[in-house]
Amino acid sequence: MTRSEKCKQKLLRRFAPGGFYDLAVRAKRFEKDDEGGMTIIALFVFILMLTMGGISIDLMRHEMERSQLQATLDSAVLAGAGAPAGASKAEIKAIVQDFFAKSGKADYLDDLSEDDIIATLNSRRVPATASMTMNTYIMKLMGVPTLGAAGGATAEVRTPKLEVALVLDVSGSMSGTKLANLKVAAKEFVTTMLNSANSGDTVISVVPFSWTVAPGEAIYSAMQGNINDSHDWSSCLRFTGDQYYDSYIDPTLNPLTGPAYDQQIYTSVYGDFDNLSSGWRSCFNDDYAEVLPFSISESELHAKIDAMVASGNTSGHIGMKWGAALLDPAFQSVATALQAPTVAVVDSTLSNVPALYDEPDTMKIIVMMGDGANTSSYYFDTNSAYRGPNSELFELKFQDMEFAYARHKYRDRTSDDESKCTNTRWVCYYEPTGPAEYRFYLRDENRIYDAATGTQVDGYYSVAEGIWLDEAQFQAIESDPEHVDTRQLDWEEAWGHMSPNWYGNTTGDWGPWNDYIGSETESGSTKNTYMSRICSSTKSQGVTVYTIGFEVPENGTAETELRACASSPPNYYRASGVNISDAFGSIASNVQNLRLTQ
């Protein structure tokens, strides 16, 4: 092909339809067309949206990974902080690392130093950080090949110290299998509570109640300067209605300067002389009935619970009063006195017990178990003629007498010759020796007719012999050489020897019986009022109250009062038979959860 032919074909291709020239012409026309301009803009926007969508996907992936990383961090440090009591820093660190490993994120956890972990007796603080790098899909085309994610978390679990008062109904209706089931449940509760914390962090008091509560000799002695003390028979106190508005028992009250607590008279509705009917006693002065205060010993607490005996009527208000008092900081001085080496009732390692109510590291719990409604209790009238000095009971002391010496009446001379005692010029002195013998005589005014004088004279009932003596016979007994002393007892002392029923049967005078049974009787409804007061006062101090109705009638008086005393409706439990262990177990679990969320 010639040069000219080649040029001709090139021009033909250029100007042919679809050729370069034709394309340029078409493009020029398209440029001038408005619809063509809009299409270019739409194409640009479309490409931009695709780019932004790709970036969004990368960012969403990044946020998802970051959220998962943070969630893993939060859970891991929480697991570490919730490690069992006594866990070491190394063990806590291992828990955090294990959590990340099981989550498939072990490589993301930053180095965790044990120095950053805090593990004390009552709290744990676990910090941790984690980081990761994620490859991008779209952003790498823009020069961002990776995105980084990092997080940090700190968990702090504070397990507060725990003060618990177990207020347990041991009235007569609890006898038999009910008491046996209670003992099992209460001991399981004690073990769970003590094992859920370090030694000394859980302090438990046991308050058995029936007619009343016996604080015991140690507590009574620690408070003795604050009590209107009237006898040595028992340690029970009687509270006024207004004192149930107080969550405390104030050991600073001074009977010499103002109102103090009254010692309850010890006697029994029924029973013979020095043989009061056990179940009808106004106060149980037996060891098994006494309060066990501020114990951290599992064996000691179990022994106290095992020793409980069921007897008497029900006084839940007094049980709650003592339970609240053992949690109230006003009782700190008593707790300190109980730690003295000569007393040693409370472990000497404890301090600041009971703790202040606003102490952030201490929880206070009452668990009250009752199996029936409050019932009546009896008291002598405050101004009764059968209270105070000069009762009708006389105590005569007899003892073998041993010659000591003889003294001349008119000269300053003594002799150890007992034969001189027959000489009227000498006076002999004897000293009691050996064990003393005490005999009791109950006087009844104007009981015996004296034929010689034609009048009624006092009679004296010999308790040991079971016979009545006239006044001359009584005076003859006092002339016995072995008679050492005659003491007219106060009424409060006398009632510890005899019941009003025995007094009435012996003398025919039923005045004391009528006074005791019908004067200041505390009815069940009155006790319910007092119980409402002490429950409200206790809860207002931030004490958490759990109550258990053990085989009580549904919606009856007992259940109504126990439910009202609980801190909230879920804090009241119904129980029957061996299921009482479930109630105590549920309470134990709730208390443990509370400790973790405090």
Q: What letter represents residue 187's amino acid?
A: K
How many C-beta atoms surround the C-beta of residue 352 within 10 A?
13
**CB 96 within 8 Å of CB 117:** no
Q: HEC string of 377-423?
A: ECCCCCCCCCCCCCCCEEEEEEEEEEEEEEEECCCCCEECCHHHHHC
Q: Which two tokens stand for residue 498?
A: 């005899």
Peptide bond into 354 cis (omega under 30): yes
Q: Which two tokens stand for residue 258?
A: 């103002």
Dist. CA 83–CA 289, nearest whole Å: 40
**Side-chain half-sphere exposure of 112, counting CA atoms within 13 A:** 30
Of 555, 552, 586, which Cα lies nearest the Cα of 571?
586
Task: Write out the chain's pLDDT in tens, 598 residues.
Answer: 565 565 555 544 544 554 445 545 555 554 555 555 666 676 666 666 666 666 778 778 778 888 888 888 899 888 888 787 668 889 999 999 999 898 888 888 898 888 888 876 566 789 999 988 888 877 777 778 888 888 898 887 765 689 999 999 999 999 999 999 999 999 999 999 998 887 888 999 999 999 999 999 999 999 877 888 899 999 999 999 999 999 999 988 766 666 689 999 999 999 999 999 989 999 999 999 999 999 999 999 999 999 999 999 999 999 999 999 999 999 999 999 999 999 999 999 888 899 999 887 789 999 999 999 999 999 999 899 999 999 999 999 999 988 999 999 999 999 999 999 999 999 999 888 889 999 999 999 989 888 888 888 899 999 999 999 998 999 999 988 889 999 999 999 999 999 999 999 999 999 999 999 998 999 999 999 999 999 999 999 999 999 999 999 999 999 999 999 999 999 999 999 999 999 999 999 988 877 655 5
Alpha helices in 82-146 (DSSP H): 89-102
| Dihedral angle computed from the Cα positions of residues 349, 350, 352 and 358, in that order, rounded to the nearest 10 degrees | 130
How many C-beta atoms surround the C-beta of residue 562 within 10 A?
27
Dist. CA 171–CA 211, nearest whole Å: 7
Which backbone phi and psi does 209 adopt, to 5 degrees?
A: -140, 145
Q: Which helix (H) or strand (E) holds 7?
A: helix 3-15
State the pTM of this model: 0.73
Rg (CA), the chain: 44
**CB 219 within 8 Å of CB 303:** no
